[in-house]
């Protein structure tokens, strides 16, 4: 469904991504794990067209994304939940959600998507008229996910959903990611919290300073001594 082939990304003279390749098949949860500065966010931004790679190709359902403008990529069925959530603080929960569906024309579909979001995030329904800036960190993460789901995406790209959340909220968010996946949305999950990510993912890639150094089935990686030592604190 999504194929990244040998991409290189530079910031000025510094090569942040040094020839990365990986694939996401329809229906999978793929985790991209790695520590601070490994290049995880850069990869997501390159997929969504915010950054152009120096070389390499990215294909989504057979179409070359490196030749597609960023604003068109959402319309192709891809949604991005950015690091730090980036919700509209001055707007209500409901208004934020509605903005997530701006590419859709069909009012019935928008209603249906809203119901889907409220069903998975009852807390957003309870707080639909609250200003987004006054939500707790966990609720803001839910809103960012809900907003992305409002476009009814085929694939959702999530950048560190666990960031700054208490363990209980992290578990709640990861449970919802699993449900969204079971409902048919493909997930690319970028995470520093390797343990949580590997627990829900089908397969995973480990990124270290711009290179993929390990990959495989998530359950095998959870049992891998190198992962245990470097990422699981065991």
Where does this chain bind ligand ATP (CB under 6 A)?
11, 16, 34, 36-42, 83, 192
Q: Among residues 16 and 169, whose Cβ is nearest to ligand ATP?
A: 16
CA distances from 215 to 41, 147, 211, 221 (A): 18, 30, 11, 8
Q: How far is the CB of 38 from ligand ATP (least distance, A)?
A: 4
Q: Among residues 2 and 38, whose Cβ is nearest to ligand ATP?
A: 38
How many whole angstroms separate alpha carbon 147 and alpha carbon 141? 10
31 close to 17: Cβ distance less than 8 angstroms: no
Q: How far is the CB of 211 from ligand ATP (least distance, A)?
A: 12
Question: Residue 58, exposed/middle/buried by CB under 10 A (0-12, 13-18, 19+)?
Answer: buried
Q: How far is the CB of 221 from ligand ATP (least distance, A)?
A: 17
Q: How far is the CB of 195 from ligand ATP (least distance, A)?
A: 15
Q: How far is the CB of 42 from ligand ATP (least distance, A)?
A: 3
Q: Among residues 34 and 77, whose Cβ is nearest to ligand ATP?
A: 34
Q: Among residues 42 and 181, whose Cβ is nearest to ligand ATP?
A: 42
Residue 85 backbone class (left: φ over 0; alpha: ψ -120 to 50; beta: rest) = left
């Amino acid at each position: 469904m999504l194929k990244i082939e040998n991409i290189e990304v530079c910031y000025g003279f510094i090569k942040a991504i040094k020839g990365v390749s990986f694939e996401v098949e329809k229906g999978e949860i793929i985790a991209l794990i790695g520590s601070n500065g490994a290049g995880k966010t850069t990869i997501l931004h390159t997929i969504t067209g915010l950054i152009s790679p120096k070389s390499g190709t990215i294909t989504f359902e057979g179409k070359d994304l490196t030749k597609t403008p960023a604003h068109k990529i959402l319309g192709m069925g891809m949604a991005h939940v950015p690091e730090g959530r980036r919700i509209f603080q001055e707007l209500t929960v409901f208004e934020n959600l509605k903005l997530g569906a701006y590419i859709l024309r069909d009012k019935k579909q928008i209603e249906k998507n809203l119901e889907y979001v409220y069903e998975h995030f009852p807390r957003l329904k309870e707080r639909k008229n609250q200003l987004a800036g006054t939500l707790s960190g966990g609720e803001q993460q839910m809103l960012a996910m809900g907003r992305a789901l409002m476009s009814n995406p085929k694939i959702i790209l999530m950048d560190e959903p666990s960031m700054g959340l208490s363990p209980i909220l992290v578990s709640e968010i990861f449970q919802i990611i699993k449900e969204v996946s079971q409902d048919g949305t493909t997930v690319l999950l970028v995470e520093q919290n390797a343990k949580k990510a590997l627990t829900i993912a089908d397969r995973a890639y480990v990124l270290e300073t711009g290179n993929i150094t390990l990959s495989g089935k998530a359950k095998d990686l959870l049992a891998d001594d190198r992962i245990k030592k470097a990422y699981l604190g065991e």
